[in-house]
Amino acid sequence: MKRWATTLAALALVLTGAGTASAAAAAPQTTACEKGWGTITKAAPGSIATTGSVTDVRTGRHTCYDRMVVDIPGMTTTDPASYWVQYVPDFTHPPSQTGIPVAGGAIIEIEFTAPVDHSRYHVRLADPLPGLDFSGYRTFRDAKFGGRYDGGTHIGLGVRAELPFRVMVLPDRLVVDVAHTW
């Protein structure tokens, strides 16, 4: 008799929705990753960004993507540096076509029209970007400085594989996010 009473009580909870509400509340929350990024070239016209120079490049790990931020103080969303971000088979210094090895399964070339402020951000051609450590990153593997040429600064970003990415212009910075998965 006790078994029937327990079964009927459980059935009543399910039919009224009370049992599912508490089960749903107890379920772990999952983060939905944004979709629709893609792997095609992302580019935007802008100015030569004479008001700002690169003062730092930093990275961060997020739930669904790894992020690279290029700090360009003085850049605005209404007058940004122009940029061109794309997957490339090899990373080279543009005028000499000298190859710069970048670790990873794929390479994203990031080009933008802001010079590097070498008094604040010390980087040399073909060197790893200073201060970056990719230990524990799911997507990022390496980042090298490709120099300046024809008004553009070049960075080679080594990633695990050719994965979707997006580019955003925010006040004082250019942001490149690369997804962990498709």
Domains and CATH numbers, the chain: 42-179 (2.60.40.3500)
Instruction: Kindly give the parts of the chain with pLDDT less than 50.
Output: 1-28
What is the rounded average pLDDT for all residues in the chain?
85
The pTM of the full predicted model, rounded to 2 decimals, is: 0.81
Tens of pLDDT, residue by residue over 103-137, are 999 999 999 999 999 899 999 999 999 999 999 99
Secondary structure of the chain in the HEC alphabet? Answer: CHHHHHHHHHHHHHHHCHHHHHHHHHCCCCCCCCCCCCCCCEEECCECCCCCCECEEEEEECCCEEEEEEECCCCCCCCCECEEEEEECCCEECCCCEECCCCCCEEEEEEECCCECCCCCCCCCCCECCCCCCCCCCCEEEEEEEEEECCEEEEEEEECCCCCEEEEEECCEEEEEEECCC
Tens of pLDDT, residue by residue over 4-21, are 444 444 444 444 444 444
